[in-house]
Amino acid sequence: MSDITLKEVMKTDVLTASSDMSTFEAAIIMAKRGAGSIVVVRGSRPIGIFTERDLIQKVIVTGINPESVPIGDYMTRRIVTLRSDNTVEEAYGRMREGNFRHILVTERGTLTGILSVKDLTRVRERVLERVIDEKTSEIRLVRDQLAKSLEQLNREMEYAGVFQKQLVARPHPRVPGIKFSHIYEQTSSIGGDFFEVSRLDQDSLGIFVADVMGHGITSAMIAIEVKLNFDQLSRNHNGPSYLVSDMNDALIPLMPDGYFVAGFYAIVNLRTLVVEYTQFGLPRPVLLRAGSMRLDSFPTTNLPIGIRKTAVYKSAKMKIRPGDKLLLFTDGCVEQKNHSKKILGEKKFLTYFKELAGAGDGAITKKLYKYVQAYADGIPIADDIAILLCEFSSKYNLHSVSKNGG
């Protein structure tokens, strides 16, 4: 567009008037001509421009009778003039710099044409269409190259997904009297959910579940960073709230805008089955009580990691009894929609969990995942899904933990 001159696109039939014409008469002339402005001239030289905006803001709104005042008193005196050999790009730049809506074209002071911002916009649109047409073949070539690159990227994403799944879903520690089972399914090759069960020492078991907002490469990279931080910080465990707070401090400088990590971290005393936990934004884990089949939730809620550097994280305690079942899950399990765009919800999900547990089912986590799939009824699963179940035997021997159990 830089080579198009004003001479090629300007309007030469310029509406002009002398400065003593009344604003009312000017308004009538502009209306008849369908013009938004009239150039005020002295002889053939422009001295100002009177626009619809001048008429409304300077005359009508102020209550002045337009028949009684000349346009010379209310015209815009600050006009911009260019020569006909100036380019459209130069004119557009001047308009943007000065916030003008009209450019007057003159030759040696004599008015020869006019160009409005609308005229320039139309010219730019035509030029852009021509450029797009010229670039179409190039775009097709680039598209083919991108398709090949995307195919390679998808293969690498699949490899990365396999690696991540192995990294996340490692074998659980062997603890006498506790059975662990899990499901970990990603919506894409790589995901943002993460969980780990680790034997901290002879008397302590760590249970950690995290859900990075979103899914894809960024979420997966954050999930790996979360795991690395957890592995490092959990070696010196001073309690869940301290670990989560330290993780928040470590991850905030690395967290992209708009991302955060919801999760739950608990330390189980294997001799007393007292759980000290910190919940930070994850759907509330539940404890299914043996015998009564009552669901107890973990009520304390803190901010997710990565939102506020000064966030304070608190912990709470709960007592597990032999025969209880601890269920942890990410929001993908309960926020899945069906064809009616209705969310599954925690109530239905947990009701089905109780039914499975009450029937003594041995594949609870797998069936919970299939339940989510059945609810979706063919609709793609919208978010990563992680389900972790810890089943404490009714014969769990309190105060007697095997030294060889880890």
Q: Which CATH number goes with the domain that contains 37?
A: 3.10.580.10
Residues 89 and 181 in one domain: no
CB-based contacts of 125, cutoff 8 Å, min separation 6: none
Domain for residue 178, yes or no? Answer: yes
**Separation CA 27–CA 344 (nearest Å):** 63
Domain for residue 346, yes or no? Answer: yes
Residues 113 and 193 in one domain: no
89 contacts 1 by C-beta, under 8 angstroms = yes
Q: Which of 59, 89, 122 is the last residue of a domain?
A: 122
Residues 104 and 178 in one domain: no
Residues 114 and 176 in one domain: no
Domain for residue 405, yes or no? Answer: no
Which CATH number characterizes residue 383's domain?
Answer: 3.60.40.10
Domain for residue 340, yes or no? Answer: yes
Q: Which of 87, 122, 157 is the last residue of a domain?
A: 122
Residues 183 and 118 in one domain: no
Strand order in the sheet with 286-288: 178-185, 385-392, 325-329, 286-288, 295-297
Domain for residue 74, yes or no? Answer: yes
Residues 254 and 359 in one domain: yes
Cα torsion 4, 7, 8, 10 to 10°: value is 110
Residues 96 and 178 in one domain: no
Helix ranges restricted to H, 197-256:
217-233, 240-251
Q: Which of 122, 139, 160 is the last residue of a domain?
A: 122
Domain for residue 300, yes or no? Answer: yes
Number of domains in the chain: 2
Residues 86 and 208 in one domain: no
**Separation CA 269–CA 342 (nearest Å):** 40
pLDDT in tens, the chain (406 residues): 557 888 888 888 899 999 999 999 999 999 998 888 999 999 989 999 999 989 999 999 999 999 999 999 999 998 889 999 998 888 888 888 888 888 899 998 899 999 888 888 888 787 777 777 778 878 788 888 887 777 776 666 665 566 556 665 667 889 999 999 998 887 766 667 888 899 998 899 999 998 888 667 788 788 888 888 888 888 876 799 999 999 999 999 988 888 999 999 999 999 999 999 999 988 889 999 998 999 998 876 799 999 998 899 999 999 999 999 999 998 889 999 999 999 999 999 999 999 999 888 889 999 999 999 999 998 888 888 889 999 999 988 876 655 444 4
Domain for residue 398, yes or no? Answer: no
Report the DSSP beta bridge partners of residue 49.
39, 76
Query: By C-alpha distance, which of 353, 233, 368 is closest to 287?
Result: 353
Which domain, by its residues, includes 289? 169-392
Query: By C-alpha distance, which of 229, 223, 255 is closest to 244?
Result: 229
Query: Residue 70: what are its φ and ψ, rounded to 5°?
Result: -85, 155
Residues 97 and 185 in one domain: no
Domain for residue 141, yes or no? Answer: no
CB-based contacts of 269, cutoff 8 Å, min separation 6: 203, 204, 275, 276
